[in-house]
Amino acid sequence: MDKIAIEILKKRYLLKGETSSKMFRRVAKAVSKGNKKLEMDFFKMMNALDFLPNSPTLMNAGTKIGQLSACFVLPINDSIESIYTTLKNSAKIHQSGGGTGFNFSNIRPKNDIVKSSKGKASGPVSFIRLFNASTDIIKQGGKRRGANMALLNINHPDILEFINAKQHGLFNFNLSVAVTDDFMKRLMKDKNINLINPKDKKIFKKIKARRIWNEIINNAWIDGDPGIIFIDEINRKHPIKEKITSTNPCGEAPLLDYESCVLGSINLSHFVKNGKIDFIKLRKTAHLAVEFLDNVIDVNKFPLKEIEKKTKENRKIGLGVMGFSEMLIKLGISYNSELAIRLAKNVMNFINFEARNKSIELGKRKGSFPNIRKSKFKAMRNATVTTIAPTGTLSLIAETSSGIEPLFAVKYKRHFDGKMYEIVNKLWKKYPKKLFVTFDKVKLEQHVRIQAAFQKYTDNAVSKTVNLPNKATKKDVDKIFKLAYESKCKGITVYRYGSKKGQVICEVC
């Protein structure tokens, strides 16, 4: 393994005296629920780095903590009781290794009158700062800083303050605006939108949609925040008749209040044989991974009873991929090509189809998820089966490219825990140099089209950042966001190289 992979394992994942192989045995034993054949199959799959589950599963399976989910969404209502209860609950989740998402739109706007005290409300952004400070204090699982997502609806009176909030700190939060179809239509026609006070549902003021949009574009160009969540598209595709208002920290898991989701990723780089995709091995791995993730729900020690109840009602899992760029290189395909888009559709369609087939089989054998009556399914173990996660540290452990992203560079440096590590792509000397397409050489439209191709065959959402060269313009960001909406993506994020201080990855640091 690379030095950074060994260091990450030592500091975040391995128990005292463990090797990576012993870690995988511990996880396989805990998740297999006493089935020796499954235990061996799970171990082999992970030990070969063909599939890895989300970090909390690797960290906590078979331990006293036992909390194995990566993603949580918690509700926040307009009362001190609700806000501080959620703050306490999020601290518990961070302590166990999970990340949290919140929609702060129920909180009344800044300077609104509070009847009980005759004072003035401080607004949602002030409470996001409170949650941000709490996260600074409590590390996830004692091993990493907590991750959060804050959403605010596009029609909230404090939307402009929210859009600009990242310029004043909030380093423990990703920010996303929940954008509606109605807003996008008004934007295209250069019309006003109504900002609505959540307290009484009355119109607070009218404002040009274009003004809000320009603020989003400007701030996203400055340092990557906020991103956009297309909330109506999320709810259109949600298989259960309940409304989603928020997502997990990276946006790939839209969840109901108190839901959690367990994720895992197949290493696509390992499924190329003699210049072709090994679909037989891919089918077998997808089936085994679905059973693994479904078992995780049963052995999980949930941090709250409400979360356990909601999670088991819908049994959402998210099987995704990493190593897409390396798969393309091994197949002799450029990330910038039409063939790459076609391959993305074919591979994800195959994985989604096989994952659903396995979930149907498990549903018939073990019972479907309890809320199936609220869905379109007849037999299904899991309400959702696929998600594309960013796989930040997991791809480093698997020594492959992250998620569905293009390569950052053939050779680059990465900060981890105060140290600098040099990483060199191991395929560099084996394949033609023209295949090593780095992020800054990928056309803007291609970034979005790749994301849309995966989204078409993904139940949940896709975490992908459109990484832009430093010279990218605000017009580029505008174009990307609009194309993402037209392409039926569920969300979109951009990041302009070098726009944040202390950037984790760099070509020359």
Looking at 181, 208, 237, the residue that finishes a domain is 237
Across residues 250-277, what is the average pLDDT? Answer: 97
219 and 104 belong to one structural domain: yes
Provide the Cα torsion 233, 180, 242, 88; round to 10°. 110
186 within some domain? yes
Q: What is the mean pLDDT of the chain?
A: 95
Across residues 244-266, what is the average pLDDT? Answer: 97
- The structure tokens listed for 496 are 């302009």
Residue with more model confidence, 505 or 48:
48
Look up the domain containing 110 and give its range: 71-237
pLDDT score recorded for residue 118? 72
**In what helix (H) or strand (E) does residue 283 lie, and over which residues does it extend?**
helix 279-299
User: Residue 114: beta bridge partners?
Assistant: 119
127 and 270 belong to one structural domain: no
pLDDT score recorded for residue 142? 66
For 424-448, what is each residue's pLDDT tens digit? 999 999 999 999 999 999 999 999 9
Contacts of 53 (CB under 8 A, 6+ apart): 27, 46, 68, 262, 263, 264, 292, 293, 296
DSSP state, residue 16 = T
468 within some domain? no
Across residues 180-206, what is the average pLDDT? Answer: 97
506 within some domain? no
Question: Number of structural domains, the chain?
Answer: 2
439 and 310 belong to one structural domain: yes
258 and 325 belong to one structural domain: yes
For 463-482, what is each residue's pLDDT tens digit? 999 999 999 999 999 999 99
pLDDT score recorded for residue 1? 81
Task: Give percent of the chain above pLDDT 70.
Answer: 99
Per-residue CA distances from 311 to 25, 194, 361, 509 (Å): 26, 35, 20, 43
For residues 10 and 13, what is the distance between their CA atoms, to the nearest angstrom?
A: 6
Q: What is the CATH classification number for the domain harbouring 329?
A: 3.20.70.20
Residues assigned a catalytic role: 248, 250, 252
Residue with more model confidence, 106 or 509:
106
For 56-110, what is each residue's pLDDT tens digit? 999 999 999 999 999 999 999 999 999 999 999 999 999 888 999 999 999 999 9
Per-residue CA distances from 73 to 93, 211, 246, 250, 404 (Å): 10, 30, 7, 12, 24
322 and 413 belong to one structural domain: yes
242 within some domain? no
**In what helix (H) or strand (E) does residue 100 lie, and over which residues does it extend?**
strand 99-103
476 within some domain? no
Alpha carbon of residue 386 to chain centroid? 12
Provide the H-helix boundaries in 301-438. 305-314, 324-331, 338-366, 392-397
279 and 134 belong to one structural domain: no
Among 42-56, 114-128, 177-191, 282-296, whose mean pLDDT is lowest?
114-128
Q: Which three-class secondary structure state does DSSP give residue 51? A: strand
489 within some domain? no
338 and 448 belong to one structural domain: yes
40 and 139 belong to one structural domain: no
Helix axes 338-366, 444-455, angle to 10 degrees: 20
257 and 169 belong to one structural domain: no
For residues 300 and 69, what is the distance between their CA atoms, to the nearest angstrom?
A: 8
**Predicted confidence band of residue 508 (pLDDT cuts 50, 70, 90):** low
For 265-312, what is each residue's pLDDT tens digit? 999 999 999 999 999 999 999 999 999 999 999 999 999 999 999 999
For residues 52 and 58, what is the distance between their CA atoms, to the nearest angstrom?
A: 8
Residue 141 has pLDDT above 70, yes or no: no
**In what helix (H) or strand (E) does residue 262 lie, and over which residues does it extend?**
strand 260-267
pLDDT score recorded for residue 507? 73
Looking at 175, 208, 237, the residue that finishes a domain is 237
Contacts of 94 (CB under 8 A, 6+ apart): 100, 135, 138, 139, 140, 141, 146
Residue 414 has pLDDT above 70, yes or no: yes
150 within some domain? yes
32 and 49 belong to one structural domain: yes
For residues 332 and 268, what is the distance between their CA atoms, to the nearest angstrom?
A: 14
181 within some domain? yes
Residue 232's Cβ-count burial label (10 Å; 0-12, 13-18, 19+) is middle
Looking at 185, 212, 237, the residue that finishes a domain is 237
23 and 76 belong to one structural domain: no
Phi, psi of 475 (to 5 degrees): -65, -35
CA dihedral (321, 435, 438, 5) positive or negative: positive
Across residues 400-408, what is the average pLDDT? Answer: 97
278 and 400 belong to one structural domain: yes
Across residues 137-150, what is the average pLDDT? Answer: 79
